[in-house]
Amino acid sequence: MLIQVHRIDENGFYVEPVLIESEEELYETVTMFEETPEGERVQYTTQQKRADIIEIAPPEGLFRPRWVEGEWTEGLSQQEIDELTKPKPLTPSDMELLQQENASLIMKVAALEMQNEQQAQDQAALIMELTEKGVL
């Protein structure tokens, strides 16, 4: 059975979700050294929970999740959040471009309407002429 856990970097910031096959992957073997009362250095290995893997998912709504002292916190300052969330206004050049494009389209529509009206008049004149000559 796959288990989803969450990888963090050395500063506690969320990196990515990770799938592991067993809870054994949450632990790593660490070699430790101790000094005995006689002054001898003894080496041993132990299993230690990995510092870069968190089992608890970060809650929704955090812009940059950070794991601090056993809980998820917001990793951005309020000023950084405000900067990210403030609406980006259209620059005057963008607005001017939209106005120019709109005006151009209005002119094209008007020209097509005039052309259509002229064709309708021409068609009516042809029908009248054909009727007068007895063709229709």
Kindly state whether residues 74 and 133 are assigned to the same domain. Answer: no
Kindly state whether residues 75 and 8 are assigned to the same domain. Answer: yes
Q: How confident is the model at residue 39 (pLDDT cuts 50, 70, 90)?
A: confident
Kindly state whether residues 66 and 50 are assigned to the same domain. Answer: yes
Tokens of 76: 């951005």
Kindly state whether residues 61 and 94 are assigned to the same domain. Answer: no
Whether the per-residue pLDDT at 89 is higher than 90: the answer is no
Q: How confident is the model at residue 95 (pLDDT cuts 50, 70, 90)?
A: confident
Residue 94: the pLDDT is 84
Domain with 120 in it? 89-136
Model pTM score? 0.57
Q: How confident is the model at residue 114 (pLDDT cuts 50, 70, 90)?
A: very high
For 60, the enclosing helix (H) or strand (E) is none
Q: How many separate domains does the chain show?
A: 2
Q: How confident is the model at residue 18 (pLDDT cuts 50, 70, 90)?
A: very high
Kindly state whether residues 53 and 94 are assigned to the same domain. Answer: no
Kindly state whether residues 60 and 124 are assigned to the same domain. Answer: no
Kindly state whether residues 50 and 108 are assigned to the same domain. Answer: no
Kindly state whether residues 95 and 80 are assigned to the same domain. Answer: no
Q: How confident is the model at residue 108 (pLDDT cuts 50, 70, 90)?
A: very high
Alpha-carbon span 1 to 126, nearest angstrom: 82
Half-sphere exposure of 55 (CA within 13 A, CB side): 10
What does residue 118 show for φ and ψ, rounded to 5 degrees? -65, -40
Q: How confident is the model at residue 107 (pLDDT cuts 50, 70, 90)?
A: very high
